Amino acid sequence: MRKQKYFGTDGIRGRVGESLLNPEFVLRLGWAAGKVLGAGNGGKVLVGKDTRISGYLLESLLEAGLTSAGIDTLLLGPMPTPAIAYLTRTLRASAGIVISASHNPYYDNGIKFFSPEGVKLNDEMELAIEEYLDCSMRMVDASKLGKAKRINDSPGRYIEFCKSTLGLNARLKGLKIVVDCANGATYQIAPAVFRELGAEVIELGGDPDGFNINDNCGSTHPNVLAKIVPLEEADLGIAFDGDGDRVVMVDHKGEIVDGDELVYIIAKHNFDEGRLQGGVVGTLMSNFGLERRLNELGIGFVRSKVGDRYVIEALRENNWLIGGESSGHIVHLGITTTGDGIVSALQVLRAMTNTNRSLHDLKNEMQKFPQTLINVKCFKPIDIHAEPAIQHALQIASDKLKDDGRVLLRSSGTEPVIRVMVEGIDQKLVKNIANDLAIAVKGCLEIF
């Protein structure tokens, strides 16, 4: 099977006006998606977006492309990515489309697709869309054009779903929570969910203007939340990314609780209740402390490639339910079909309320290994595993760590960077090795 030409690990993403995110391409993408997803028989497709200013433009272009292919378009407005997955299933749509670049700055955007089952499209479907993208657009007859309308009750539908995942009689009364919505897609929904469950909510990042999404706020900047939670004497803080599929939390002491620790808390609580089916899936970036602690408990652990689609693939292969990434992208297939920041946060709160323990206590059951991650900018494709200088540097790094750590070098699937990650017992040694390896990678890139 040939490799995708336009699709990356999480749909199609780039800087708006450049690369693939230009009006002509997006119009053709809407048409191509309509031809494939409607299978020539019409149908309806949901379109949601985050709060980037470019969302208005891309939404209109996708609508035009879809309707020209004979597809009815249901416009949801700003909604979290997992909400689109959920509503695609419950509204029996042919597909769902999300306009978002997740945790990236406002000037980037992206387009990703969900199948009728609420899961990311497989490679075959993406390749089929790409085949149409390389063809000339041919609009259906005027009598067969699709229609478009806005769905105004979608936030309420999704809020009720999120609340239902905590259990019918569950309450968050007595909890004071600071919620940072990153000026993104969760700004209308997340505060409402926690308030309606009884929590006192202090809002951050809830005033999007099209430009401030992920700007010094949200899960990519948890230090902001970490300062505010102790000042407000809150029990915890919750930070989402721009499209709401990631979550990072902060305990009452202002200590950041990342995705690995959240996965542990959720999995451990399910294990204690006898509801953990099998083991847990992490990724190549997951902290070794997570793997070690789960193994101590007798819980299986496997690593997938980075990206929620690969986590989900590994879960399905093993018939397991819970997995996630260090970034806070957490999947619970017993509840929903994709990573969901709000649902994941609720599962952590469930563990807290059921055990009457603080977030700080729960996360301290797992001790993380010191880890250093350096992103090296890379604007040209390079096979990092075929470069002798890089391989030599990798060997030196491995020799220094011996059996007390690990090294990972990989190209990002969502950003123009090469990720250099080193993990081990000795924090100073880990940092020095990561810096040396990053310098070696930069040196190689300068040759090209």
The residues carrying an active-site annotation are 102
Closest by CA to 97, choosing from 127, 130, 73, is 73
| Tokens 């990002």, residue located | 412
Q: What are the DSSP E strand ranges found in 226-312?
A: 236-240, 247-251, 256-257, 280-283, 301-304
Q: Which SS3 state, helix, strand or coil, does residue 283 take?
A: strand
Q: Which SS3 state, helix, strand or coil, does residue 385 take?
A: helix
Closest by CA to 155, choosing from 247, 229, 48, 269, is 48
Pairing of strands 256-257, 236-240: unpaired
Closest by CA to 74, choosing from 92, 53, 100, is 92
Cα–Cα distances in Å, from 406 out to 307, 328, 401, 403, 413? 20, 21, 7, 8, 21
Count of residues making up the chain: 448
Instruction: Provide the residue type at 405 as one letter.
Output: G
**Strand ordering across the sheet containing 148-150:** 12-15, 108-114, 95-99, 44-49, 72-78, 148-150
Secondary structure (DSSP) of 49-94: E-S-THHHHHHHHHHHHHHHTT-EEEEEEE--HHHHHHHHHHTT-S
Each as own residue / partner, the long-range contacts of residues 132-138 (CB below 8 Å, 24 or more positions apart, any chain) are 132/31, 132/32, 132/35, 132/36, 133/6, 133/25, 133/28, 133/29, 133/32, 135/32, 137/27, 137/28, 137/31, 137/65, 137/68
